[in-house]
Chain A
Amino acid sequence: MTLALRQPSVIPGFGITLGFTLFYMGLILLIPIGAFLLYTAQMSWADFWQAVSHRQVVASYKLSFGASLIAALLNLVFGAIVAWVLVRYQFFGKRVIDALVDLPFAMPTAVAGIALVTLYASTGWVGQYLEILGLRVAYTQLGVVVALTYIGLPFVVRTVQPVLEDLERELEEASAILGANRLTTLRRVILPALLPALLTGFALAFARALGEYGSVIFIAGNLPFRTEITPLLIVAKAEQYDYPGAAAIGTVMLLAAFVLLLLINTLQWWTARHSRR
């Protein structure tokens, strides 16, 4: 019995493309991350712990991770609906709406933040009516969620859209012919096919929200222990030239984000394998 160690590929060039990938990832991603991990490494364990476990910092983790999670969940549900409408129906102005989806990518986040706070402040167009309902958005944790939802909108839409386009309608017809009602078709046929894309979009929106700074600081109010996001505390540390402290908090965010993304990716991998069976 012979064992082929390397199977010849139809398109050669594995070595060179992998080499390039590693070089590129190293240059663009790993070196900057390594540089700031190096800052963290200069700290003693006690200093590190003190920097990352301060009461004010812990409060900001809760807000940053919590609000990012809620925002990503909102985008998961409503982004999927937007993608569905854009793929499945023809209507006047569809292209315009399709183009609008990408707007949060293009707009400077500070502009978005100022626009949102102008709308949602108690003097704003939307805010004054919400005020009557007893709902305050600007300068509350809810405001943070609103901003993070705004900037995360495109991710789920854009990841789900191409998958939906490829989804064969015959499958749904077959499902219907076999006697499934609409809900069952949605649950057993469509959703499993979309799940990997939904998870990817969710992960992207979540990760983006974690790191967002520009738009949030305008609407958050930035009160310590209440509406202060973690990236703001990192800026505050840097402002007093406390680079190790800033890097330490950054490291915690990075690790937490990495673990969460890894979890989501594993889940995605698992569902992809599961649905193929």
Chain B
Amino acid sequence: MPRSRFSRLALAGVTALALGLSGAALAQQAATLLNVSYDPTREFYREYNNAFAAHWVAEKGQRVNVRMSHGGSGSQARSVIDGLDADVVTLALAYDVDALHDRAQLIPEDWQTRLPQNSSPYTSTIVLLVRAGNPKNIRDWDDLVRKDVQVITPNPKTSGGARWNYLAAWGYALEKFGDEDKAYEFVRDIFANVPVLDPAARGATNTFVQRRIGDVFIAWENEAFLAVEQLGQGQYEIVVPSVSILAEPPVSVVDRNVDRKGTRELAQAYLEFLYTDEAQRLAGKHYYRPSNPEILAEFAERFPEVNLHTVDEWFGGWRNAQETHFNDGGVFDRILAEIH
């Protein structure tokens, strides 16, 4: 399909030259934007891009063509670091966006303060997906350490999404016991109940849904909704824990790229539009929690109130969390070595 678009573009270019039109006319061509995102945002951005394109045409009279790239959050960040021409990134965790600064100086260090709500226009949380009827009677995080419960989660070492799972469990234990050692034991006991450690969320979903392995699947709320919706109503139930983490998938303009391509204004507008009521409702429709409290209230039935904490509150930011827990020799490695 890109080829046909390209040839059409080329044809248009040749025609324009043949007619002797000025360069100004060519500038009226559709502008393009590349949004590098992670996996489960596919449906949301498909709809959002149309909404934004309509808005931009009405506002500036220019057509916009937003191209999407989806993949694991970490590998998407690496692609951008290695030169993928992203105008904006919309990833799963701030650590991956931080890497754009730390590894390649593509964005300034304070990128997260440039947009409201920690640059996270939509949020989610970590919930527990169980089989219909909740046969193991799973009500909260405590049930995950029970000996008779099998837990499915991807590996936090390889899956950005799974790091939220781990941190949510840790945070819950921290709230409950107020003690790091107890939190360690709690999370260790959960991972001792994990029979299969898939590298990515998709594989883990497959394990839980297709293979029917495990009693509870730790998942992002939006993905749990998708699973319930797509894999048949009535086969799964979402259990919302008493305490969980506020998952903030952040967005940022990639400064180095937009300055080179001259797309800063458009890219900026693209991200700011995410905070409008229209876009917030779209996020809610696609099971992300809108960051605007008024719009969130419209979806009160869908998103029950949870005692949510941020990574900053519990772990002092993503860099800290990553270093302490997930890097080699970190807490998670100790847990693995202890249980295997």
Interface residues in chain A, defined as those with a beta carbon under 8 Å from any beta carbon in chain B:
51, 54-56, 114, 117-118, 121, 123, 138-139, 217-218, 221-226, 232, 235-242, 245
Counting CB contacts under 8 A, is B212 at the interface? yes
Closest 9 CB pairs of A and B: A225-B340, A236-B157, A221-B196, A224-B336, A239-B74, A121-B211, A222-B197, A236-B158, A239-B158
* Closest residue of B by beta carbon distance from A113: B203
Q: Which residues of B contact A241 (CB under 8 A)?
A: 78, 99, 102-103
Chain B, range 180-195, C-beta contacts under 8 Å to A: 195
B195 close to A221 (CB less than 8 A): yes
CA distance A218 to B157 in the complex (A): 16
- B281 to chain A: closest CB distance in Å? 34
Q: Which residues of B contact A222 (CB under 8 A)?
A: 155, 196-199
Q: Which residues of A contact B157 (CB under 8 A)?
A: 236, 239-240
Known: A222-B196, A232-B199. A240 touches B327 (CB 8 A): yes
Known: A139-B196, A217-B203, A226-B340. A232 touches B211 (CB 8 A): no
Place the interface of chain B in its size category. 20 to 34
Contact residue among A118, A121, A226, A235 (Cβ-Cβ distance under 8 Å from B213): A121
Contact residue among A55, A138, A226, A245 (Cβ-Cβ distance under 8 Å from B328): A245
A114 close to B328 (CB less than 8 A): no
Counting CB contacts under 8 A, is B28 at the interface? no
Interface residues in chain B, defined as those with a beta carbon under 8 Å from any beta carbon in chain A:
74-75, 78, 99, 102-103, 155, 157-160, 195-199, 203, 206, 210-213, 322, 326-328, 333, 336-337, 340
Q: Which residues of B contact A240 (CB under 8 A)?
A: 157, 322, 326-328
Q: Which residues of A contact B210 (CB under 8 A)?
A: 118
- A191 to chain B: closest CB distance in Å? 42
* Closest residue of A by beta carbon distance from B74: A239
Q: Which residues of B contact A139 (CB under 8 A)?
A: 195-196
B195 close to A218 (CB less than 8 A): no
- B253 to chain A: closest CB distance in Å? 21
Q: Which residues of B contact A138 (CB under 8 A)?
A: 211
* Closest residue of B by beta carbon distance from A237: B328
Between-chain CB contacts (< 8 Å), 11 pairs: A56-B333, A217-B198, A218-B206, A221-B195, A222-B197, A223-B340, A224-B197, A225-B336, A236-B199, A238-B75, A242-B327
Q: Which residues of A contact B333 (CB under 8 A)?
A: 56
CA distance A238 to B155 in the complex (A): 14
* Closest residue of A by beta carbon distance from B211: A121
CA distance A238 to B77 in the complex (A): 11
Known: A225-B340, A238-B78, A245-B328. A123 touches B211 (CB 8 A): yes
Q: Which residues of B contact A114 (CB under 8 A)?
A: 206
Q: Which residues of B contact A226 (CB under 8 A)?
A: 340
CA distance A117 to B208 in the complex (A): 13
CA distance A120 to B213 in the complex (A): 13
Known: A218-B203, A222-B199. A236 touches B155 (CB 8 A): yes
Known: A118-B210, A237-B328, A240-B327. A56 touches B336 (CB 8 A): yes
- A204 to chain B: closest CB distance in Å? 26
Q: Which residues of A contact B213 (CB under 8 A)?
A: 121
Q: Which of A217, A226, A235, A241 has the most CB of B within 10 A?
A: A241
